[in-house]
């Protein structure tokens, strides 16, 4: 019964967020025209952060890449850009309710592993907000938590993390050859490292304003301090791999979401073991 209650709680919070977004007509997706305009703009607005979700959405409709996206990123086939996510969007007919279900199941899996972490993640703003968008984050986090739930062995979890990253990697991450994407790779090493771990949150402020970021920042900093004080284990190894990958390629704060549940599990084990 307790698992059913946590499932309903997580589901309610995500549906509530979706209701707020729809009631106030908060844009979570750019039109194709807006996406093209913002990508090629020399001074794009903050809403450009929604461009990736628009890319996945429109490509997944018929598994065809809009021409300007191919020109900007440097690819022409749907499976060259976030292949697993685009395929899932295609198979589910771009269903936001499916995204919400995945996010809710993520909470349930975490709750089965640890009640405290599951309850925290049920209220975690990023999990709630991303479930109402077409970004890749919800699916990535679900697969990572599922891997932790199923495998348990640290080396298997690390391998699963690497495989998941590969399934969500775009071809231009290996062969960047357009001016649009090259800008990301030309950022300095520290800039790219900081881009991954800085106490800010993509998309949240675009949808709801900076106030929600300011509320989250102190909690995020406390979590990171607790993580840095925890003993070194496989979660540290995954964080190290992510950091190296960020410095070689590029990263933004939402890229770290895949291991936030692992960090919470690690901290909880450290505190209560």
Q: Are 201 and 216 in contact (CB under 8 A)?
A: yes
For residues 252 and 175, the model is more confident at 252
Residue 184's pLDDT is 83
- For residues 220-249, give the mean pLDDT: 95
Say which residue the tokens 């800010």 belong to: 200
**C-alpha to C-alpha distance for 128 and 132, rounded to whole angstroms:** 7
Residue 164's pLDDT is 96
Whether the per-residue pLDDT at 206 is higher than 70: the answer is yes
Side-chain-side CA neighbours of residue 123 (13 Å): 7
Predicted confidence (pLDDT) per residue in 68-111, tens digit:
988 888 888 999 999 999 999 999 999 999 999 999 999 999 99
3-state DSSP: the chain helix, strand, coil percent, rounded to 5? 75, 0, 25
Q: pTM of the full predicted structure?
A: 0.95
Predicted confidence (pLDDT) per residue in 124-158, tens digit:
999 999 999 999 999 999 999 999 999 989 999 99
Say which residue the tokens 């607790």 belong to: 226
Say which residue the tokens 């194709």 belong to: 32
- For residues 2-18, give the mean pLDDT: 97
Residue 272's pLDDT is 72
- For residues 114-121, give the mean pLDDT: 96
- State how far the alpha carbon of 225 is from the alpha carbons of 3, 9, 221, 241, in Å: 30, 29, 6, 19
Domain ranges of the chain: 2-272
Q: Are 165 and 245 in contact (CB under 8 A)?
A: yes
Q: Are 32 and 69 in contact (CB under 8 A)?
A: no
Mean pLDDT over the full length of the chain: 93
- For residues 105-121, give the mean pLDDT: 97
Residue 273's pLDDT is 62
Share of the chain above pLDDT 70, in %: 100
Residue 182's pLDDT is 81
**C-alpha to C-alpha distance for 5 and 130, rounded to whole angstroms:** 22
Residue 254's pLDDT is 94
């Amino acid at each position: 019964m307790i698992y059913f209650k946590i499932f309903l709680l997580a589901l309610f919070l995500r549906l509530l967020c979706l209701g707020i977004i729809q009631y106030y007509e908060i844009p979570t997706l750019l039109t194709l025209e807006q996406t093209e305009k913002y990508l090629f703009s020399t001074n794009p607005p903050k809403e450009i952060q929604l461009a990736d979700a628009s890319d996945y959405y429109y490509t997944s409709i018929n598994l065809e890449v809009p021409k300007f996206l191919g020109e900007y990123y440097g690819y022409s086939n749907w499976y060259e850009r976030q292949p697993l996510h685009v395929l899932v969007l295609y198979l589910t007919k771009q269903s936001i309710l499916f995204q919400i279900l995945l996010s809710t199941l993520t909470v349930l899996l975490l709750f089965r592993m640890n009640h405290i972490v599951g309850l925290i993640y049920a209220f975690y703003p990023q999990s709630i907000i991303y479930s109402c968008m077409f970004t890749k984050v919800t699916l990535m986090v679900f697969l990572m938590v599922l891997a932790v739930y199923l495998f348990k062995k640290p080396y298997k979890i690390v391998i699963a993390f690497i495989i998941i990253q590969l399934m969500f990697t775009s071809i231009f991450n290996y062969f960047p050859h357009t001016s649009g994407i090259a800008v990301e790779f030309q950022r300095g090493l520290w800039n790219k490292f900081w881009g991954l771990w800085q106490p800010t949150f993509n998309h949240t402020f675009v949808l709801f304003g900076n106030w929600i970021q300011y509320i989250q920042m102190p909690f995020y900093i406390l979590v990171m301090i607790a993580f840095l004080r925890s003993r070194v284990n496989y979660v540290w190894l995954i964080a190290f791999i992510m950091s190296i990958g960020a410095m070689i390629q590029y990263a933004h704060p939402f890229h770290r979401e895949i291991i936030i549940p692992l960090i919470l599990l690690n901290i909880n084990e450290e505190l209560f073991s």
